[in-house]
Amino acid sequence: MRALVEATLQVLLRDGYTKLTTTRVAERAGVSVGTLYQYFPDKRALVTALQVEYFGLMTRAVEGALLARASCDPRGEDIEGAIREALAALLEVKRTHRDLTRAMREPMAVMDGHAFVHDTLARFAALFAPMLARIDPRGNPRRAMVLVSALEGAITYAAFESPAWLDEAWFLDDLVRLALGCLRVTPRGVPRRARSGASKRVVLSA
Note whether 91 and 176 are same-domain residues.
yes
Q: Is 185 helix (H, G, I), strand (E, B) or coil?
A: strand
- Asked whether residue 74 is domain-assigned, the answer is yes
Note whether 1 and 34 are same-domain residues.
yes
Note whether 36 and 75 are same-domain residues.
no
Residues 6+ apart with CB under 8 A from 116: 51, 52, 55, 108
The amino acid sitting at 71 is S
**Cα four-point dihedral sign 190, 191, 192, 198:** negative
- Asked whether residue 168 is domain-assigned, the answer is yes
Note whether 93 and 176 are same-domain residues.
yes
- Asked whether residue 196 is domain-assigned, the answer is no
Note whether 9 and 36 are same-domain residues.
yes
Residue range(s) defining the domain that contains residue 88: 50-186
CA atoms within 13 A on the CB side of 119: 12
Nearest to 23 by CA among 120, 68, 15: 15
Report the pLDDT value the prediction gives residue 188, as an integer from 0 to 100: 65
Note whether 64 and 1 are same-domain residues.
no
Report the pLDDT value the prediction gives residue 201, as an integer from 0 to 100: 45
Query: What CATH number has the domain bearing residue 96?
Result: 1.10.357
Note whether 91 and 157 are same-domain residues.
yes
Note whether 19 and 68 are same-domain residues.
no
Task: Tell me the H-state helices in the chain.
Answer: 2-15, 22-29, 33-37, 43-72, 79-96, 98-110, 114-135, 143-161, 169-183
- Asked whether residue 33 is domain-assigned, the answer is yes
Note whether 91 and 154 are same-domain residues.
yes
Number of domains present in the structure of the chain: 2
Predicted TM-score of the model (pTM)? 0.83
Write out residues in the chain with pLDDT < 50, as ranges.
Answer: 191-206
Note whether 56 and 20 are same-domain residues.
no
Note whether 92 and 121 are same-domain residues.
yes
Report the pLDDT value the prediction gives residue 93, as an integer from 0 to 100: 96
